Amino acid sequence: MAETVIMVTGGSGLVGHGIQLALEEDKKPNEKWIFLSSKDADLRNHEATKLLFEKYKPTHVIHLAAKVGGLFYNLENNCDAYMNSQMNSVVLDLCKEYKVQKVVSCLSTCIFPDKTTYPIDETMIHNGPPHFSIYGYGYAKRMVDVMNHAYNEQYGCHFTSVIPCNIFGPHDNFSLREGHVIPGLIHKAYLAERYDQPLVILGTGKPLRQFIYSVDLGKLIIWVLREYPEIKPIILAVDEKDEISIRDAGELVIKAFGYKGEIVQDLSKSEGQFKKTASIAKLRKYLPGFKFTPTKQAIEETVNWFRKNYETAKK
């Protein structure tokens, strides 16, 4: 059997590590996995990126590399999100040039219209502008879907994409400024516990989110690479019934730490979209029996990982 060479851009990040952890249980002998980081090449640079394709000669590519942050980072850096468009254009163009058999790019539920009906599904991506807080990143990611269809129609390329809900897990970005909600809460709770100071929660905590554990997402992306036949994107998220409020997520973090100190709410901060409820009917059609890690367990595992790796964790 011919060897499958899978090159993963952004492979040192949260989702890349989720895939690596998932592969510990599901590695196939004919697959060679190559996990790249930003140290390997600037993916905005065509010639530098071309050298990676020459070196590794991938038959498949999982494109995870992106410049991304949490709500407050995105509010202040919508223009910087353009670098995602640059990376996406270079990577997909070279995948076409080197006749890569399949490409799976990673999008986000933030690409969906701000004003919409719920639950959102894969047919609704381009029905209106994304939320103002993240329009730069949202439009850059939407264009991947446009490019996937264009490359398929013009050149016959099998380029597709996945749309995860809010991701968290080991190797996340736990930055208090740039990180997403769960890793940010974990870092805050760690510092509050360590220095015996109040834990400050931003906003009311009422917005609702579907949270997916990075290891579960890794398993699903591996399945998409091996099995998913469509060009059209597929939402990868926990079931709608498992959507929880940011306040609930915060309480799970607090319980995982056993934090007993003072909790303060800062109601002056923006909270972004109230909800982004995503339908996983398409995923369930393909994988009706897939079992997600319970959110409580996944948060406990992430908290334990952060405790053990505080000094080296991205923050």
Q: Describe the chain by its helix, strand, coil percentages, rounded to 5.
A: 45, 15, 40
Q: How far apart are CA 104 and CA 237, in angstroms?
A: 16
- Decide if 137 contacts 81 (C-beta within 8 A): yes
Cis bond upstream, residue 233 (ω within 30): no
- Decide if 141 contacts 111 (C-beta within 8 A): yes
Q: How far apart are CA 273 and CA 276, in angstroms?
A: 7
Q: Which residues, in sequence order, are bridge partners of residue 12?
A: none
Catalytic choice (73, 98, 118, 137): 137
Name which of 295, 162, 203, 205 is nearest 241 in CA terms: 295
User: CB-based burial of residue 308 (10 Å sphere; 0-12 exposed, 13-18 middle, 19+ buried)?
Assistant: exposed
**Which residue's entry shows tokens 């040192």?**
12
Reading the block at residue 71, the tokens are: 């709500």
Which stretches does DSSP call E strand in 102-257?
Answer: 102-106, 159-164, 166-168, 199-202, 208-209, 211-213, 234-236, 244-245
Q: How far apart are CA 59 and CA 32, in angstroms?
A: 10
Our answer to whether residue 56 is catalytic in this structure is: no
Reading the block at residue 139, the tokens are: 């439009």
**Which residue's entry shows tokens 């319970």?**
294
Q: How far apart are CA 271 and CA 120, in angstroms?
A: 20
- What is the DSSP pairing of strand 263-266 with strand 102-106? unpaired
Active site residues: 137
